[in-house]
A = this chain, B = another copy of it.
Amino acid sequence: MQKGKSKRANVSGLEYFFSPKSVAVVGASRTPGKVGYTVLENFLKSGFPGKVFAVNPEAEEVLGVKCFKSVREIKETIELAVICVPEKFVLKVLQECAERKVKAVIIITAGFAETGNAKETMKLKEFIAKHRNMRFVGPNCLGVLDTQNKIDTLFLPFNRLGRPERGGISFISQSGALGSAVLDWAAMQGFGVGKFVSYGNAMDVDESDLLEYLDRDKETKVIALYIEGVGNGRKFFETLQQVGKQKPVIVIKGGVTSEGGKAVGSHTGSLAGSSEVYKALFKQTNAIYAETMQEVFDFARVFEFEPKIKGKKVQIITNGGGYGVLCTDAIIGAGLELAKMNEKAKSVIRKACPSYAIIANPIDLTGDANSERYRVALEQAMKAKEVDAVLLITLFQTPLLEESIVQIVRGFNEKKTKPLLVLSVGGEYCQKMNAMLERSKINVFDNPAEIALALKKLYEFFGSKR
């Protein structure tokens, strides 16, 4: 049986990809910009606490690190090897890694299955099948980013590809280019990422193994997954079913139309199927289906930072009628409901507001609302049993809304009694306020439809099924 064809997820040895005590960069290059240069540079710059070895038969040293002629020459233990050599040298290097009992190998090198080099591909597959106590990521991949353990095999330079801060979202991507674009975008948006894996042709470690591993990873609160095709459908769906019971797994599938499927190309044993088939399968597995990468991260940050939701009754609080209306439409459109707060709570809010404020749902504190008016309304909504989640709209264009609103929202958010999401639309001042809110792990959105959809996913996962 081929190792890659095992029916169950196999996490054995995966820890060496994420927390190795030592790493060898094979094909360390002296030329800035080259893959083997950037990978070595990353390990040196990232704060990786383990030992770093460089292998290059033609160089004395690269980036101040002494070069070994081959992996064989390194006498110390190598837990992880990152292979950046041309295709024709890969098998030889792997053989040496096996001799030196390397635990885990990331084969960044491209040029196997995807360009139809059948003979080399077969040899590589045979080698991997034979070496059952080694694990392999790749070939044709970006490899691993682990913000906790400071692993970074991404060969794209920092000035092109920003690295996100440490966080609870881990992201598995079948596409390296898509993965890196999204990672770069996430870094700019300020979304924290725990682990990122681009697993390429998946000759050994595949999406199922990674799902299972991330399920057990305490640092990972939410798993995001971009897939195009899966080599072993049954293994994938069984793993997803198991993992999805405990941890939110957000999945986006490329190639849901037949034309998109053609663009995916010929992935051996790929599950073909329309959007509807996939959605149905994902539903059975309790995975959270996303249609766009924007949705993936919208859902992920809501699952990461919000507490469990108990029902689908939402209280809207606003200082502008128009966005109150649009959010109402969005909440109802998503299949959620407007909460009906008790009269006592409403009368407390009414007392704190001028007569023209509308204490209903939405609560419209009106355009001259200050932070104190918000505080009273928020306090009542967060306390009211009739309210399962609060959607707070803060339009910062009105000069009477003070900066202290940030502390107030933060205070209620830290207690985490129920989900509290903020909608805030605007320009520079607004973005400054939003950034302050987001630094306190408050989820801020600028689109009523997106905030409602994210809340709906939270409800479907926690509220409706359990």
Q: Which residues of A contact B (CB under 8 A)?
A: 33, 114-115, 156-157, 159-162, 173-182, 184-185, 187-188, 226, 228, 254-260, 262-265, 275, 291-294, 319-326, 328-329, 331-333, 338, 355-356, 358, 360, 362, 367, 395-399, 425-431, 446-449
Contact = CB atoms under 8 A, between A and B. Distances in A.
Contacts of A430: 181, 184-185
Contacts of A362: 263
Given A263-B362, A329-B255, A397 B177 contact: yes
B291 A323 contact: no
A445 B21 CA distance: 42
Contacts of A399: 33, 156-157, 160
A273 to B, nearest CB: 13
A399 B38 CA distance: 12
Contact of A175 (B255, B321, B333): B321
A180 B399 CA distance: 12
Given A188-B427, A323-B178, A425-B293, A329 B260 contact: yes
Nearest to A186: B427
A254 B325 contact: yes
Contact of A228 (B115, B275, B325, B338): B325
B319 A177 contact: yes
3 closest cross-chain pairs (CB), A and B: A178-B322, A177-B320, A175-B322
A156 B319 CA distance: 14
16 contacts: A115-B355, A160-B398, A160-B399, A177-B320, A177-B395, A178-B320, A178-B322, A184-B426, A185-B426, A185-B430, A254-B322, A257-B332, A259-B338, A263-B325, A275-B333, A293-B326
Given A160-B398, A160-B399, A397-B156, A426 B322 contact: no
Contact of A427 (B162, B254, B323): B162
Given A177-B321, A292-B448, 15 more contacts: A156-B397, A159-B429, A160-B399, A161-B426, A178-B323, A180-B397, A181-B425, A184-B425, A184-B427, A185-B425, A187-B427, A257-B333, A259-B329, A262-B328, A265-B321
Contacts of A331: 259
Contacts of A360: 263
Contact of A356 (B115, B184, B332): B115
A178 B33 contact: no
A263 B177 contact: no
Given A260-B329, A328-B259, A177 B367 contact: yes
A185 B427 contact: yes
B429 A160 contact: yes
Contacts of A157: 399
A161 B397 contact: yes
A260 B324 CA distance: 8
Contacts of A428: 162, 188
A358 B265 CA distance: 10
A384 to B, nearest CB: 18
Contacts of A188: 426-428, 431
Contacts of A179: 322
B398 A156 contact: yes
A433 to B, nearest CB: 10
A306 to B, nearest CB: 22
A157 to B, nearest CB: 6
B321 A395 contact: no
A323 B263 contact: no
A226 B156 contact: no
Contacts of A275: 329, 333
A259 B173 contact: no
Given A320-B175, A320-B178, A322-B254, A332 B185 contact: no
Contacts of A33: 399
A159 B401 CA distance: 13
Most B CB contacts (10 A, CB to CB) among A321, A355, A427 go to: A427
Contacts of A333: 256-257, 275
